[in-house]
Amino acid sequence: MKKFVVILLTGLVLSLGTSGAFADEIKIGAGAAPSNGIFKPIKEHFEKATGVKMTLLEQGPKMALEELMRGAIDAASAGLTVDEWIAMMKKEGIEVNKAEIQGVVIGKSRAVVMINKSNPVSKLTKEQLKGIFTGKITNWKDVGGKDMPIIVVWGKLTPGMNSLFINKALDGITPVKDVLDATTGPDLRQNVASNQEAIGISASSVADNTVKVPEQPEALSEIPIVTKGKPSANVQKLIDFIKGEGQKYIK
């Protein structure tokens, strides 16, 4: 009998311990810019400072906002303004009532063009970028590079950066359809690093020393974090941390 009671008590303690470990947890769905520029750099420091576990889901802004609206995550973030985000969702056939969400700006994102490190091109103007991404310029020699075809790499899961680049750098012009498909920002970077003819766009926080970022026009936007209704206490802790101590870790 005593052995049975001990087993029961042990199981109860383990159960309470497990539930306690996840009692303070927030799930954040995010695109490439906030994931790589904000949440990954602060994650360890935030958890240590607050005792709140942060689970980051790199879903892209479309899925993140969908998951938020159905209550599967606590907050969503993207590299485009709330109004641009809602407009992007509408183009995807998804209506989002702005009155149901609250947004707070937690940073800025920059969409950058990345090319292969072996590419001698050091600068691309707005007109040249328009030509490349609309298919009017198809060879690197036409913009000061080698005589080789241009391969445009396009991220399927980076709609926030795609939208920012299209609006700011291409003036809303629809980009070429003949592209090399990639998924996330890091996957796009890998494709550019592996193909000397390649060019692609992603958040500046995704670019590293495996690729080259030529001089180019700036494409900037706000990074908001949005919640369905008022932020929970733990999400508010995250927002406060980002705006305070977290600033020294953000890219």
Q: Are residues 50 and 127 in the same domain?
A: no
Say how far apart CA 146 and CA 221 lie, in whole Å: 33
Q: Are residues 215 and 114 in the same domain?
A: yes
Q: Are residues 155 and 119 in the same domain?
A: yes
**Mean pLDDT, the chain, integer:** 90
CB atoms within 10 A of CB 147: 8
Q: Residue 173: exposed, middle, or buried by beta-carbon count in 10 A (0-12, 13-18, 19+)?
A: exposed
Q: Are residues 162 and 200 in the same domain?
A: yes
CATH number where 119 lies: 3.40.190.10
pLDDT for the residue numbered 158: 87
* Stretch 10-33: mean pLDDT: 64
* Stretch 29-37: mean pLDDT: 92
Range of the domain at 22: 2-109+222-248
- For every residue of 26-69, DSSP letters joined together read EEEEE-HHHIIIIIHHHHHHHHHHH--EEEEEE--HHHHHHHHH
Closest Cα to residue 219, out of 182, 175, 158, 167? Answer: 167
pLDDT for the residue numbered 159: 85
pLDDT for the residue numbered 45: 97
Q: Are residues 114 and 215 in the same domain?
A: yes
Q: Are residues 9 and 54 in the same domain?
A: yes
* 82-104: pLDDT as tens digits: 998 999 899 889 999 999 999 99
Say how far apart CA 6 and CA 136 lie, in whole Å: 76
Q: Are residues 93 and 146 in the same domain?
A: no
Tokens of 34: 């906030």
pTM above 0.85, yes or no: no
* 181-234: pLDDT as tens digits: 999 899 999 999 999 999 999 999 999 999 999 999 999 989 999 999 999 999
Q: Are residues 145 and 81 in the same domain?
A: no
Give, rounded to a whole angstrom, the gap between the first and last alpha carbons of the chain: 59
* 50-63: pLDDT as tens digits: 999 999 999 889 99
pLDDT for the residue numbered 22: 44
CB atoms within 10 A of CB 10: 10
Q: Are residues 244 and 188 in the same domain?
A: no
Share of the chain above pLDDT 90, in %: 78
- Tally of structural domains, the chain: 2
Q: Are residues 65 and 189 in the same domain?
A: no
Q: Are residues 118 and 209 in the same domain?
A: yes
φ, ψ of residue 81 to 5 degrees: the values are -65, 160
Q: Are residues 119 and 193 in the same domain?
A: yes
Q: How many residues does the chain have?
A: 251
